[in-house]
Structure 1
Amino acid sequence: MRRADRLMALVQILRDGALHRAGDLAAAVDVSLRTIYRDMETLAASGVPIEGERGVGYHVTAAITLPPLNLTMTELEALHMGLMAVGGGNDAELATAANTLTQKLDAVMPEDRSRSPAPYSFAIYPFADAAKGFQHLPQIRQAIRARQKLLLSIGGHHKTVRPLQLDYWGRLWTCVVWCETTKGFDDLRVDQITDMRILPSLFVDEPEKSYTAYLSQRK
Protein backbone atom coordinates (compact mmCIF):
# COMPACT_ATOMS: atom_id res chain seq x y z
CA MET A 1 0.00 0.00 0.00
CA ARG A 2 1.38 3.42 -0.96
CA ARG A 3 1.99 5.71 2.00
CA ALA A 4 -0.57 8.28 0.83
CA ASP A 5 -3.18 5.51 0.59
CA ARG A 6 -2.22 4.20 4.04
CA LEU A 7 -2.56 7.68 5.55
CA MET A 8 -6.01 8.03 4.03
CA ALA A 9 -6.95 4.60 5.40
CA LEU A 10 -5.86 5.75 8.86
CA VAL A 11 -7.97 8.90 8.55
CA GLN A 12 -10.99 6.74 7.73
CA ILE A 13 -10.39 4.61 10.83
CA LEU A 14 -9.92 7.61 13.10
CA ARG A 15 -12.84 9.65 11.82
CA ASP A 16 -15.30 7.94 14.18
CA GLY A 17 -13.84 10.06 16.99
CA ALA A 18 -13.08 7.04 19.18
CA LEU A 19 -9.70 6.41 20.78
CA HIS A 20 -7.65 3.91 18.77
CA ARG A 21 -4.52 2.24 20.14
CA ALA A 22 -1.41 2.48 17.98
CA GLY A 23 -1.10 -1.30 17.98
CA ASP A 24 -4.60 -1.69 16.57
CA LEU A 25 -3.90 0.92 13.88
CA ALA A 26 -0.66 -0.83 12.96
CA ALA A 27 -2.47 -4.15 12.59
CA ALA A 28 -5.25 -2.58 10.51
CA VAL A 29 -2.84 -1.25 7.87
CA ASP A 30 -0.15 -3.93 8.33
CA VAL A 31 2.81 -1.77 9.41
CA SER A 32 5.03 -1.47 12.48
CA LEU A 33 4.33 0.65 15.55
CA ARG A 34 7.23 2.91 14.61
CA THR A 35 5.58 3.56 11.25
CA ILE A 36 2.26 4.39 12.92
CA TYR A 37 3.96 6.93 15.17
CA ARG A 38 5.54 8.59 12.12
CA ASP A 39 2.23 8.52 10.26
CA MET A 40 0.41 10.20 13.14
CA GLU A 41 3.01 12.96 13.19
CA THR A 42 2.69 13.39 9.42
CA LEU A 43 -1.09 13.63 9.54
CA ALA A 44 -1.01 16.14 12.39
CA ALA A 45 1.58 18.23 10.54
CA SER A 46 -0.61 18.12 7.44
CA GLY A 47 -3.52 19.67 9.31
CA VAL A 48 -5.62 16.65 10.28
CA PRO A 49 -6.92 17.46 13.81
CA ILE A 50 -5.44 14.45 15.62
CA GLU A 51 -4.81 14.19 19.36
CA GLY A 52 -3.02 11.41 21.19
CA GLU A 53 0.30 10.02 22.29
CA ARG A 54 2.33 6.86 22.26
CA GLY A 55 1.12 4.26 24.72
CA VAL A 56 -2.34 5.83 24.98
CA GLY A 57 -3.91 6.10 21.56
CA TYR A 58 -5.09 8.55 18.93
CA HIS A 59 -8.39 10.13 17.90
CA VAL A 60 -9.64 12.87 15.60
CA THR A 61 -10.87 15.94 17.45
CA ALA A 62 -13.80 18.26 16.72
CA ALA A 63 -14.22 20.41 13.64
CA ILE A 64 -11.58 22.98 12.81
CA THR A 65 -12.20 26.48 14.18
CA LEU A 66 -10.59 29.86 13.77
CA PRO A 67 -10.97 31.81 17.02
CA PRO A 68 -13.06 33.87 17.33
CA LEU A 69 -14.63 32.60 14.09
CA ASN A 70 -16.29 29.24 13.51
CA LEU A 71 -15.88 28.37 9.85
CA THR A 72 -18.58 26.49 8.01
CA MET A 73 -17.54 23.91 5.42
CA THR A 74 -18.58 26.30 2.63
CA GLU A 75 -16.57 29.17 4.13
CA LEU A 76 -13.56 26.90 4.50
CA GLU A 77 -13.96 25.84 0.88
CA ALA A 78 -14.04 29.48 -0.26
CA LEU A 79 -10.94 30.27 1.82
CA HIS A 80 -9.13 27.25 0.47
CA MET A 81 -9.87 28.01 -3.17
CA GLY A 82 -9.11 31.71 -2.83
CA LEU A 83 -5.72 31.17 -1.22
CA MET A 84 -4.75 28.56 -3.80
CA ALA A 85 -5.75 30.88 -6.67
CA VAL A 86 -3.79 33.82 -5.27
CA GLY A 87 -0.81 31.72 -4.21
CA GLY A 88 -0.52 30.18 -7.67
CA GLY A 89 -0.88 33.47 -9.54
CA ASN A 90 1.73 35.58 -11.33
CA ASP A 91 1.69 38.43 -8.83
CA ALA A 92 4.72 37.72 -6.64
CA GLU A 93 3.67 40.16 -3.92
CA LEU A 94 0.18 38.66 -3.61
CA ALA A 95 1.59 35.13 -3.71
CA THR A 96 3.91 36.01 -0.84
CA ALA A 97 1.01 37.53 1.07
CA ALA A 98 -1.04 34.37 0.52
CA ASN A 99 1.82 32.30 1.90
CA THR A 100 2.22 34.44 5.01
CA LEU A 101 -1.55 34.40 5.53
CA THR A 102 -1.58 30.60 5.44
CA GLN A 103 1.12 30.54 8.10
CA LYS A 104 -0.92 32.86 10.33
CA LEU A 105 -3.99 30.67 9.84
CA ASP A 106 -2.02 27.58 10.76
CA ALA A 107 -0.89 29.23 13.99
CA VAL A 108 -4.48 29.20 15.28
CA MET A 109 -6.16 26.27 13.48
CA PRO A 110 -6.93 24.39 15.57
CA GLU A 111 -5.87 26.01 18.85
CA ASP A 112 -4.86 22.85 20.66
CA ARG A 113 -2.39 21.50 18.12
CA SER A 114 0.92 20.77 19.78
CA ARG A 115 3.14 21.16 16.75
CA SER A 116 3.55 23.62 13.90
CA PRO A 117 2.07 22.31 10.63
CA ALA A 118 3.28 22.76 7.10
CA PRO A 119 1.79 25.84 5.38
CA TYR A 120 -1.97 25.51 5.12
CA SER A 121 -2.83 25.59 1.43
CA PHE A 122 0.60 24.71 0.10
CA ALA A 123 1.26 21.45 1.94
CA ILE A 124 3.79 19.16 0.35
CA TYR A 125 3.39 15.60 1.61
CA PRO A 126 1.18 13.59 1.97
CA PHE A 127 -1.69 15.38 0.23
CA ALA A 128 0.13 17.81 -2.05
CA ASP A 129 -2.21 17.05 -4.94
CA ALA A 130 -5.36 17.76 -2.92
CA ALA A 131 -5.86 21.02 -4.82
CA LYS A 132 -6.78 18.99 -7.90
CA GLY A 133 -10.14 18.32 -6.31
CA PHE A 134 -11.04 21.93 -5.51
CA GLN A 135 -12.61 22.42 -8.95
CA HIS A 136 -15.17 19.71 -8.15
CA LEU A 137 -16.33 21.05 -4.78
CA PRO A 138 -18.99 23.54 -6.02
CA GLN A 139 -20.66 20.92 -8.21
CA ILE A 140 -20.61 18.28 -5.49
CA ARG A 141 -22.09 20.73 -3.00
CA GLN A 142 -24.80 21.65 -5.54
CA ALA A 143 -25.60 17.98 -6.16
CA ILE A 144 -25.87 17.26 -2.42
CA ARG A 145 -28.31 20.12 -1.94
CA ALA A 146 -30.40 19.26 -5.01
CA ARG A 147 -30.19 15.48 -4.41
CA GLN A 148 -28.80 14.88 -7.89
CA LYS A 149 -26.78 11.85 -8.86
CA LEU A 150 -23.21 12.19 -10.14
CA LEU A 151 -21.35 10.25 -12.79
CA LEU A 152 -17.72 10.04 -11.67
CA SER A 153 -14.50 8.84 -13.28
CA ILE A 154 -11.91 7.62 -10.76
CA GLY A 155 -8.84 5.60 -11.64
CA GLY A 156 -10.21 4.79 -15.09
CA HIS A 157 -13.48 3.46 -13.68
CA HIS A 158 -16.92 5.05 -13.98
CA LYS A 159 -19.52 4.99 -11.24
CA THR A 160 -22.89 6.57 -10.57
CA VAL A 161 -23.25 7.84 -7.02
CA ARG A 162 -25.57 9.68 -4.66
CA PRO A 163 -23.43 12.36 -2.94
CA LEU A 164 -24.29 12.55 0.76
CA GLN A 165 -21.65 14.53 2.66
CA LEU A 166 -18.46 16.53 2.07
CA ASP A 167 -15.78 16.20 4.74
CA TYR A 168 -12.52 18.06 5.25
CA TRP A 169 -9.39 16.36 6.60
CA GLY A 170 -6.53 18.82 6.79
CA ARG A 171 -6.33 20.02 3.18
CA LEU A 172 -7.93 16.85 1.89
CA TRP A 173 -11.62 16.73 0.95
CA THR A 174 -13.61 13.50 0.82
CA CYS A 175 -17.19 12.79 -0.19
CA VAL A 176 -19.38 10.11 1.34
CA VAL A 177 -21.57 8.57 -1.35
CA TRP A 178 -23.99 5.75 -1.93
CA CYS A 179 -22.66 4.04 -5.06
CA GLU A 180 -25.32 2.83 -7.47
CA THR A 181 -22.68 0.78 -9.26
CA THR A 182 -21.42 -1.25 -6.29
CA LYS A 183 -24.63 -0.97 -4.23
CA GLY A 184 -22.81 0.24 -1.14
CA PHE A 185 -21.33 3.22 0.68
CA ASP A 186 -17.98 4.69 -0.27
CA ASP A 187 -15.84 7.56 0.96
CA LEU A 188 -14.09 9.07 -2.04
CA ARG A 189 -11.10 11.37 -2.20
CA VAL A 190 -12.25 14.37 -4.22
CA ASP A 191 -8.74 14.95 -5.62
CA GLN A 192 -8.83 11.51 -7.27
CA ILE A 193 -11.89 12.38 -9.38
CA THR A 194 -10.69 12.87 -12.96
CA ASP A 195 -14.08 13.69 -14.47
CA MET A 196 -17.51 14.43 -13.06
CA ARG A 197 -20.95 15.13 -14.47
CA ILE A 198 -24.16 16.02 -12.65
CA LEU A 199 -26.94 13.76 -13.90
CA PRO A 200 -30.47 15.07 -14.45
CA SER A 201 -31.99 12.27 -12.38
CA LEU A 202 -32.80 13.07 -8.75
CA PHE A 203 -32.76 10.64 -5.84
CA VAL A 204 -35.18 10.47 -2.96
CA ASP A 205 -34.15 9.97 0.64
CA GLU A 206 -34.01 6.28 1.53
CA PRO A 207 -33.08 5.47 5.16
CA GLU A 208 -30.82 2.57 4.22
CA LYS A 209 -28.87 4.75 1.75
CA SER A 210 -28.56 7.88 3.91
CA TYR A 211 -25.59 9.49 5.64
CA THR A 212 -27.11 8.44 8.97
CA ALA A 213 -27.06 4.84 7.77
CA TYR A 214 -23.44 5.25 6.71
CA LEU A 215 -22.49 6.44 10.20
CA SER A 216 -24.41 3.57 11.81
CA GLN A 217 -22.69 1.08 9.54
CA ARG A 218 -19.26 2.42 10.53
CA LYS A 219 -20.08 2.01 14.22
Structure 2
Amino acid sequence: MRRTDRLFSIIQIFRDGRLHKGADIAERMEVSLRTIYRDIDTLIASGVPINGERGVGYMMTEPVFLPPLNLSPGELEVLELGIALVQSGFGKTLSEHGKSLSDKVRVVLPRPEMLDPGRGAIGVYSQRFPDAVQDVLEVTRRAILSRSVLEFDYCSLDENQSHRIIRPLEIEAWDSTLTVTGWCETRGDFRVFRLDRMSGTRLLERGFRPEAGKRLNDYLERTK
Protein backbone atom coordinates (compact mmCIF):
# COMPACT_ATOMS: atom_id res chain seq x y z
CA MET A 1 0.00 0.00 0.00
CA ARG A 2 1.34 3.42 -0.94
CA ARG A 3 1.89 5.85 1.91
CA THR A 4 -0.73 8.29 0.59
CA ASP A 5 -3.29 5.47 0.54
CA ARG A 6 -2.29 4.43 4.05
CA LEU A 7 -2.69 7.99 5.37
CA PHE A 8 -6.17 8.14 3.85
CA SER A 9 -7.05 4.79 5.42
CA ILE A 10 -5.86 5.99 8.84
CA ILE A 11 -8.14 9.03 8.57
CA GLN A 12 -11.00 6.70 7.67
CA ILE A 13 -10.35 4.66 10.82
CA PHE A 14 -10.42 7.77 13.02
CA ARG A 15 -13.68 9.01 11.51
CA ASP A 16 -15.69 6.95 14.02
CA GLY A 17 -14.57 9.29 16.81
CA ARG A 18 -13.26 6.44 18.98
CA LEU A 19 -9.89 5.88 20.62
CA HIS A 20 -7.57 3.73 18.50
CA LYS A 21 -4.26 2.26 19.59
CA GLY A 22 -1.32 2.52 17.26
CA ALA A 23 -0.62 -1.21 17.57
CA ASP A 24 -4.13 -2.07 16.38
CA ILE A 25 -3.80 0.24 13.37
CA ALA A 26 -0.37 -1.22 12.55
CA GLU A 27 -1.79 -4.75 12.59
CA ARG A 28 -4.68 -3.69 10.38
CA MET A 29 -2.38 -1.94 7.89
CA GLU A 30 0.22 -4.74 8.05
CA VAL A 31 3.06 -2.32 8.77
CA SER A 32 5.27 -1.66 11.78
CA LEU A 33 4.09 0.33 14.81
CA ARG A 34 6.91 2.79 14.16
CA THR A 35 5.51 3.43 10.66
CA ILE A 36 2.04 4.17 12.10
CA TYR A 37 3.46 6.58 14.67
CA ARG A 38 5.30 8.37 11.88
CA ASP A 39 2.14 8.51 9.75
CA ILE A 40 0.07 9.92 12.61
CA ASP A 41 2.73 12.57 13.26
CA THR A 42 2.53 13.50 9.58
CA LEU A 43 -1.27 13.83 9.73
CA ILE A 44 -1.11 15.96 12.87
CA ALA A 45 1.55 18.20 11.32
CA SER A 46 -0.67 18.68 8.25
CA GLY A 47 -3.57 19.90 10.40
CA VAL A 48 -5.68 16.77 10.89
CA PRO A 49 -7.30 17.13 14.37
CA ILE A 50 -5.89 14.01 16.03
CA ASN A 51 -5.04 13.95 19.74
CA GLY A 52 -3.39 11.27 21.83
CA GLU A 53 -0.05 9.78 22.71
CA ARG A 54 2.01 6.74 21.94
CA GLY A 55 1.17 3.70 24.01
CA VAL A 56 -2.23 5.10 25.01
CA GLY A 57 -4.06 5.74 21.75
CA TYR A 58 -5.33 8.43 19.40
CA MET A 59 -8.68 9.84 18.39
CA MET A 60 -9.97 12.51 16.03
CA THR A 61 -11.42 15.46 17.93
CA GLU A 62 -13.19 17.14 15.01
CA PRO A 63 -14.73 15.82 11.78
CA VAL A 64 -12.63 16.20 8.64
CA PHE A 65 -14.44 17.42 5.54
CA LEU A 66 -13.13 17.15 1.99
CA PRO A 67 -14.33 19.22 -1.00
CA PRO A 68 -17.40 17.63 -2.65
CA LEU A 69 -16.94 15.74 -5.88
CA ASN A 70 -19.50 16.52 -8.55
CA LEU A 71 -20.07 13.52 -10.81
CA SER A 72 -22.91 13.24 -13.27
CA PRO A 73 -25.38 10.32 -12.92
CA GLY A 74 -23.83 8.77 -16.03
CA GLU A 75 -20.31 9.03 -14.62
CA LEU A 76 -21.44 7.45 -11.35
CA GLU A 77 -23.09 4.63 -13.30
CA VAL A 78 -19.85 3.92 -15.17
CA LEU A 79 -17.91 3.91 -11.90
CA GLU A 80 -20.46 1.62 -10.24
CA LEU A 81 -20.37 -0.78 -13.19
CA GLY A 82 -16.56 -0.87 -13.22
CA ILE A 83 -16.35 -1.59 -9.50
CA ALA A 84 -19.04 -4.28 -9.75
CA LEU A 85 -17.20 -5.97 -12.64
CA VAL A 86 -13.90 -6.02 -10.76
CA GLN A 87 -15.47 -7.34 -7.57
CA SER A 88 -17.39 -10.04 -9.43
CA GLY A 89 -14.44 -12.41 -9.56
CA PHE A 90 -11.05 -10.91 -10.46
CA GLY A 91 -9.32 -11.80 -7.22
CA LYS A 92 -8.85 -10.44 -3.73
CA THR A 93 -6.34 -7.72 -4.59
CA LEU A 94 -8.41 -6.05 -7.30
CA SER A 95 -11.55 -6.42 -5.19
CA GLU A 96 -9.83 -4.62 -2.32
CA HIS A 97 -8.71 -1.88 -4.72
CA GLY A 98 -12.34 -1.53 -5.84
CA LYS A 99 -13.52 -1.16 -2.25
CA SER A 100 -10.77 1.37 -1.51
CA LEU A 101 -11.81 3.38 -4.57
CA SER A 102 -15.44 3.31 -3.44
CA ASP A 103 -14.48 4.54 0.03
CA LYS A 104 -12.43 7.41 -1.36
CA VAL A 105 -15.12 8.56 -3.77
CA ARG A 106 -17.90 8.33 -1.18
CA VAL A 107 -15.95 10.60 1.17
CA VAL A 108 -16.04 13.45 -1.34
CA LEU A 109 -19.56 12.93 -2.73
CA PRO A 110 -22.31 15.29 -1.50
CA ARG A 111 -24.17 12.14 -0.33
CA PRO A 112 -22.25 8.87 0.18
CA GLU A 113 -25.25 6.77 -0.87
CA MET A 114 -24.95 8.22 -4.38
CA LEU A 115 -22.31 5.55 -5.11
CA ASP A 116 -23.72 2.04 -4.86
CA PRO A 117 -22.25 -0.65 -7.19
CA GLY A 118 -25.33 -2.79 -6.55
CA ARG A 119 -27.78 -0.09 -7.62
CA GLY A 120 -26.80 0.46 -11.26
CA ALA A 121 -29.09 -0.13 -14.25
CA ILE A 122 -26.80 -2.94 -15.47
CA GLY A 123 -26.51 -6.08 -13.35
CA VAL A 124 -23.17 -7.89 -13.37
CA TYR A 125 -23.46 -11.68 -13.53
CA SER A 126 -20.12 -12.55 -15.07
CA GLN A 127 -18.42 -15.81 -14.22
CA ARG A 128 -16.34 -15.87 -11.05
CA PHE A 129 -12.96 -17.26 -11.99
CA PRO A 130 -11.76 -20.18 -9.81
CA ASP A 131 -9.34 -19.45 -6.98
CA ALA A 132 -6.49 -21.18 -8.81
CA VAL A 133 -7.00 -18.90 -11.84
CA GLN A 134 -7.22 -15.84 -9.59
CA ASP A 135 -3.86 -16.82 -8.06
CA VAL A 136 -2.29 -17.01 -11.52
CA LEU A 137 -3.97 -13.70 -12.40
CA GLU A 138 -2.39 -11.98 -9.41
CA VAL A 139 1.12 -13.24 -10.21
CA THR A 140 0.72 -12.33 -13.89
CA ARG A 141 -0.57 -8.83 -13.03
CA ARG A 142 2.45 -8.22 -10.83
CA ALA A 143 4.76 -9.44 -13.57
CA ILE A 144 3.25 -7.04 -16.13
CA LEU A 145 3.26 -4.06 -13.78
CA SER A 146 6.86 -4.68 -12.69
CA ARG A 147 8.03 -5.81 -16.15
CA SER A 148 9.31 -9.06 -14.72
CA VAL A 149 9.85 -12.24 -16.70
CA LEU A 150 7.29 -14.97 -15.97
CA GLU A 151 7.94 -18.71 -15.81
CA PHE A 152 5.32 -21.47 -15.82
CA ASP A 153 4.33 -24.90 -17.07
CA TYR A 154 1.65 -24.95 -19.76
CA CYS A 155 -0.84 -27.54 -20.91
CA SER A 156 -2.26 -26.76 -24.34
CA LEU A 157 -5.80 -27.60 -25.43
CA ASP A 158 -4.50 -30.76 -27.13
CA GLU A 159 -2.84 -31.74 -23.80
CA ASN A 160 0.75 -31.04 -24.88
CA GLN A 161 2.93 -30.08 -21.90
CA SER A 162 5.63 -27.43 -22.15
CA HIS A 163 7.73 -25.17 -19.95
CA ARG A 164 7.57 -21.47 -20.84
CA ILE A 165 9.44 -18.28 -20.01
CA ILE A 166 7.69 -15.15 -21.28
CA ARG A 167 7.67 -11.39 -21.13
CA PRO A 168 4.00 -10.81 -20.17
CA LEU A 169 2.43 -7.85 -21.97
CA GLU A 170 -1.34 -7.88 -21.42
CA ILE A 171 -4.09 -9.88 -19.74
CA GLU A 172 -7.30 -10.29 -21.71
CA ALA A 173 -10.70 -10.99 -20.12
CA TRP A 174 -13.06 -12.94 -22.38
CA ASP A 175 -16.55 -14.26 -21.66
CA SER A 176 -15.36 -17.15 -19.51
CA THR A 177 -11.59 -17.20 -19.94
CA LEU A 178 -8.57 -15.10 -19.00
CA THR A 179 -5.55 -15.08 -21.32
CA VAL A 180 -2.15 -13.43 -21.27
CA THR A 181 -0.31 -12.25 -24.36
CA GLY A 182 3.46 -12.17 -24.14
CA TRP A 183 6.73 -12.51 -25.95
CA CYS A 184 7.68 -16.14 -25.42
CA GLU A 185 11.44 -16.44 -24.93
CA THR A 186 11.11 -20.20 -25.18
CA ARG A 187 9.68 -20.01 -28.72
CA GLY A 188 11.13 -16.65 -29.79
CA ASP A 189 7.74 -15.25 -30.82
CA PHE A 190 4.46 -13.89 -29.49
CA ARG A 191 2.13 -16.35 -27.83
CA VAL A 192 -1.25 -16.21 -26.06
CA PHE A 193 -1.79 -18.45 -23.02
CA ARG A 194 -4.92 -19.34 -21.06
CA LEU A 195 -4.44 -18.66 -17.37
CA ASP A 196 -6.46 -21.73 -16.40
CA ARG A 197 -3.92 -23.93 -18.20
CA MET A 198 -0.86 -22.38 -16.54
CA SER A 199 0.68 -23.95 -13.42
CA GLY A 200 3.71 -23.34 -11.21
CA THR A 201 3.55 -19.69 -12.27
CA ARG A 202 6.25 -17.52 -10.72
CA LEU A 203 8.09 -14.27 -11.27
CA LEU A 204 11.76 -14.46 -12.08
CA GLU A 205 14.19 -11.95 -10.63
CA ARG A 206 15.06 -10.91 -14.17
CA GLY A 207 13.18 -7.94 -15.60
CA PHE A 208 12.81 -6.74 -19.17
CA ARG A 209 12.58 -3.52 -21.14
CA PRO A 210 10.32 -2.87 -24.13
CA GLU A 211 12.16 -3.83 -27.31
CA ALA A 212 11.15 -3.13 -30.89
CA GLY A 213 9.43 -6.19 -32.31
CA LYS A 214 8.61 -7.58 -28.87
CA ARG A 215 6.06 -5.03 -27.60
CA LEU A 216 2.31 -5.35 -27.35
CA ASN A 217 1.83 -2.79 -30.13
CA ASP A 218 4.02 -4.94 -32.38
CA TYR A 219 1.77 -7.92 -31.69
CA LEU A 220 -1.40 -5.89 -32.34
CA GLU A 221 0.02 -4.58 -35.60
CA ARG A 222 0.76 -8.11 -36.70
CA THR A 223 -2.76 -9.31 -35.96
CA LYS A 224 -4.56 -6.53 -37.84
TM-score (norm 2): 0.46
| Greater relative CO (CA pairs within 8 A, separation 6+) | 1
TM-score (norm 1): 0.47
Larger radius of gyration: 2
